Amino acid sequence: MFLLTPAIQSAKDKSPILSCHSFRATTATDLLDQGVPLEDVQYLLGHADPRTTRLSDRRHKEVTRNIVEQISV
């Protein structure tokens, strides 16, 4: 963990909203994006309900951002 400290501080400087939850959500999103089944991600995160795992999936935010950027052009 000590080796990550400078990287974490650098990330905090760029985005002040950095927490353990943000790391978990990023991991969930990346795994789902790579095609890992929801049930496997759910197990990895220790969620009893797959709906909780879905809340960590941030891919919909990227889709929304892309739509807004296309409309803005």
Alpha carbons 23 and 35: distance in angstroms, whole number? 19
Cα gap 44→37, rounded to integer Å: 11
How far is Cα 10 from Cα 18, in angstroms, rounded to an integer?
11
- Give, in order, the Cα–Cα distances in Å from 66 to each of 34, 71, 72: 19, 9, 10
DSSP class of residue 57 equals: -
- Which tens digits make up the pLDDT trace of 34-45? 999 999 999 999
Between these two residues, 43 and 58, which has the higher pLDDT value?
Answer: 43
Looking at the whole model, is its pTM more than 0.85?
Answer: no
